[in-house]
Each structure stands twice: as C-alpha cells, then as structure tokens.
Chain A
Amino acid sequence: GAGVSQSPSNKVTEKGKDVELRCDPISGHTALYWYRQRLGQGLEFLIYFQGNSAPDKSGLPSDRFSAERTGESVSTLTIQRTQQEDSAVYLCASSLGLSVSYEQYFGPGTRLTVT
C-alpha cells in the first residue's frame, strides 16, 4: 500500500514569509508525528497527534510553529514569519499507535530553505 507522503519535497522561501507543509499518513494510522532535522543534527521531535486527543505540542520551538490534523488523515505544519534558522528537513511519520512497540513509518521529508 501507499506509504507516508509529504509535499512539497522542496520549498524555498524568503525570510518573513509563511509556509505550509503537508503530510498524508498511512491509512489507519492513528498516530502522526512531525520532526525537524537541521544540518548535522539528529531528528528533533516537534508535535504528535494521536486519534482525537489533543496534540502534544511540547516540541514546537516557538509560537510561530503550529500544526493541524483533520481526523486521522492529512496534517499540515505551518511556520509563520519564517527565519533562517527554520531551514531544515521536516519529516512526518505515522504509526498504528504511540507505543514504540508499533513500527513508525517516515515520509521522504520536505526540505525547507529560508533565504
């Protein structure tokens, strides 16, 4: 079946502009995660959604970052007033549940460059 998909694959934007990144998880996966990977660093957890529960936003680096999820499907990550330090690869992942006993599947990522 289809894996996790993300769009766009690449995004170049000017500092100060807003960007919206999209994630389509695997159908039936109740848990969805957003991560960020800056150059030379490990994956950094941003936010997760689990079913209809309130999202865990504990990893969001600032109030310029927000995310939404429609039911148990598509999610969008929005970054307002982008800064150069927001340049990174943004990865989305989904799994059947939150527990690490479930395998987590990643999308190919969106490479964001803020000029």
Chain B
Amino acid sequence: DQQVKQNSPSLSVQEGRISILNCDYTNSMFDYFLWYKKYPAEGPTFLISISSIKDKNEDGRFTVFLNKSAKHLSLHIVPSQPGDSAVYFCAASPISGGYQKVTFGIGTKLQVIP
C-alpha cells in the first residue's frame, strides 16, 4: 500500500521551460511534506518542504504547491536547468512524528535537455 505516490517515473523538459513533478498521498494524517533531489551515486539532498497550514512555499526557482483537499502536491522548477537533472523524491510525514514517520515516494527522474 503506497501512501505516497509519484506516478510519473520520468519526465523530460527543455532547458528554460517549467518542470512540474507531481505527488499524491493517501494518509490524511500527513501534514508535512518534503522534496528531495538525488544525483547518481549520491545520497538524497533536501530541497524544499511545506506544512499543511500553507498551500505554497517558494525558494528561488523551486516552488511547492499543496492541495490538501485533493491530497496532491507538486514541485515546480522554473526555469529548468541541465543541472536539475536528477531523481526527485516526494516525502510526507505527520509533523509531530519525526523522521522515522516519513514515507517516501519511489521518485521521478527528471531530465532537462539543453
């Protein structure tokens, strides 16, 4: 039973365009959401997070949108750059739970074409 779903295994985007990575969750107890980026042969690195009291959080070129009623979040990268090519993991947690309660999606591989 996948509680955090990333239904697109891969995505290709032209450099300079917007990349939109989607994530759906099923557990209504989740109220804190994180995105990680992972390059080959490296561990995931934290990218951006959002708590359920917000519907948008922005950090430079990266914006995460949360739609609680739809149990859906998305990560927007604008403009996309070749260095953004990586696997992106969505993760969700009850905010009081600590990292042991974080559930990860299987990842979406983004390729930004120069």
Complex contacts, A108 vs chain B, CB 8 Å: 41-43
How many A residues have CB within 8 A of the partner chain? 27
Q: How far is the CA of A58 from the CA of B97 in the complex (A)?
A: 14
Which chain B residues (62-99) contact chain A, with CB distance < 8 Å?
A: 89, 91, 93, 95, 97-99
Q: How far is the CA of A95 from the CA of B105 in the complex (A)?
A: 21
Contact among A4, A41, A48 for B99, CB-based, below 8 A: A48
The segment from A12-20, A67-75, A80-88, A96-104 that touches chain B is A96-104
Q: Is the interface of A mostly helix, strand, loop or mixed?
A: loop
* Nearest CB in chain A to that of B32: its residue: A100
Total of A-B residue pairs, C-beta within 8 Å: 61
Complex contacts, A91 vs chain B, CB 8 Å: 43-44
How many B residues have CB within 8 A of the partner chain? 25
Q: How far is the CA of A34 from the CA of B103 in the complex (A)?
A: 14
Q: Evaluate whether A93 and B34 lie within 8 angstroms (CB atoms) in the complex, with A42-B106, A100-B98 already known.
A: no
Complex contacts, A93 vs chain B, CB 8 Å: 43, 99
B45 within 8 A of A: yes
* Nearest CB in chain A to that of B90: its residue: A42
A1 within 8 A of B: no
Contact among B42, B43, B46, B102 for A45, CB-based, below 8 A: B102
A59 touches B99 (CB 8 A): no
Q: How far is the CA of A100 from the CA of B34 in the complex (A)?
A: 9
Q: How far is the CA of A9 from the CA of B43 in the complex (A)?
A: 11
Interface string of B26-42 (1 = CB under 8 A from A): 00000010100000011
| Max chain B C-beta neighbours (<10 A), residue from A31, A43, A103 | A43
Complex contacts, B45 vs chain A, CB 8 Å: 105-106
Closest 5 CB pairs of A and B: A106-B43, A42-B104, A98-B98, A43-B104, A42-B106
